[in-house]
């Protein structure tokens, strides 16, 4: 695999890629991104990721974005050029180029970057033993400040700060609450808990990103006949869960076995969690946009 970048339609090795110093995402976080997985030369849920990206562009009023089908083709072409069979695909869109907050004073031609690389959020052994998580003090961004459904680049400063707090406390991940004290999400993942055979996950109104992997888990559970509820969860619910796990494109699905020094269930990955993980791995190898071998 060669790490490749597509910058505004031009392919190049990662080592040659450059961005303008006045790119609005670089200066102000004024842009959007998607992380997408390639499994077995299949791009998993590409249309779902791109739909969220274009919805975000519309919400933020990023003008002049390239057509949907053109971006889709650029992604496929970049993956094929890399020769990758399994990879992490990062797609970033900035509003344009120019200094100053006012978009009227800049070149509002979006800069569109596609990078083919690798990303692993957690060591492989944590997927076997499960994550130790702590509740962090930093709250998720309130929806009256920035809608959590938008995967905005600037939004993630708060998540990075929460991750650093978890690191300082020796935990593998940090769990974030909203301003009302309800459980929202981890620093880069969605949360699920299992109670009495029922799967529960924070309701979107709690300030979460509606994750693509989250939706995939909901689909798997319903196919298995497992009830799924989007709910308003408190820490009490998580402390008393039978099982828990986190989901995300980068994280995939990882068991969570401890929160705030309290064991969840039996303190090991649960049976339902492992069943969902097995089915997720099966689907990721079989479903998606197939790219040609190099």
pLDDT digits (tens, 9 = 90+) for 188-215: 999 999 999 999 999 999 999 999 999 9
Domain 4-117 has CATH 3.40.50.970: no
Domain 124-284 has CATH 3.20.10.10: yes
Neighbours of 61 (CB within 10 A): 9
The span from the CA of 48 to the CA of 34, in Å, is 10
Q: Which of 72, 151, 163, 282 is catalytic?
A: 151
**β-pair partners for 87:** 38
Low-confidence ranges of the chain (pLDDT < 50): none
Neighbours of 258 (CB within 10 A): 17
CATH 3.30.470.10 domain position(s) in the chain: 4-117
Query: For position 1, what pLDDT does the model report?
Result: 80
What are the residue ranges of helices labelled H in the chain?
24-28, 46-60, 68-82, 124-129, 156-168, 212-223, 235-239, 271-286
In the residue annotation, 151 being an active-site residue is answered as: yes
Query: For position 119, what pLDDT does the model report?
Result: 87
Query: For position 137, what pLDDT does the model report?
Result: 97
CATH 3.20.10.10 domain position(s) in the chain: 124-284
Contact 245, 252 (CB under 8 A): no
Collapsing DSSP to helix, strand or coil, 15 comes out as helix
């Amino acid at each position: 695999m060669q790490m490749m970048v597509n910058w505004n339609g031009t392919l190049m090795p990662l080592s040659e890629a450059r961005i303008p110093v006045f790119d609005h995402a670089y200066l102000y976080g004024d842009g959007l991104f998607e992380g997408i997985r390639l499994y077995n030369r299949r791009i998993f849920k590409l249309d779902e990721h791109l739909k969220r990206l274009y919805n975000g562009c519309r919400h933020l009023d990023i003008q002049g974005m390239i057509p949907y089908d053109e971006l889709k083709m650029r992604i496929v072409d970049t993956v094929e050029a890399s020769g990758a069979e399994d990879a992490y695909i990062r797609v970033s869109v900035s509003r344009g180029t120019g200094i100053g907050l006012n978009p009227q004073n800049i070149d509002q031609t979006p800069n569109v970057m596609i990078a083919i690389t690798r990303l692993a959020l957690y060591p492989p052994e944590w997927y076997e033993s499960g994550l130790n998580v702590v509740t962090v003090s930093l709250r998720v961004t309130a929806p009256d400040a920035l809608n959590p459904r938008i995967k905005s680049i600037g939004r993630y400063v708060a998540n990075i700060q929460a991750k650093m707090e978890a690191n300082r406390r020796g935990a593998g991940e940090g769990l974030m609450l909203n301003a009302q004290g309800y459980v929202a999400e981890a620093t880069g993942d969605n949360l699920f808990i299992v109670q009495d055979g029922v799967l529960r996950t924070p309701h979107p109104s709690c300030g979460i990103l509606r994750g693509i992997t989250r939706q995939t888990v909901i689909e798997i559970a319903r196919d298995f006949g497992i009830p799924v509820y989007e709910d308003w969860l408190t820490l009490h619910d998580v402390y008393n869960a039978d099982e828990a796990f986190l989901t995300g494109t980068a994280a995939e699905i990882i068991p969570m076995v401890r929160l705030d020094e309290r064991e969840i269930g039996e303190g090991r990955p649960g049976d339902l969690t492992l069943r969902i993980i097995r089915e997720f791995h099966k689907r990721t190898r079989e479903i998606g946009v197939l790219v040609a071998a190099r």
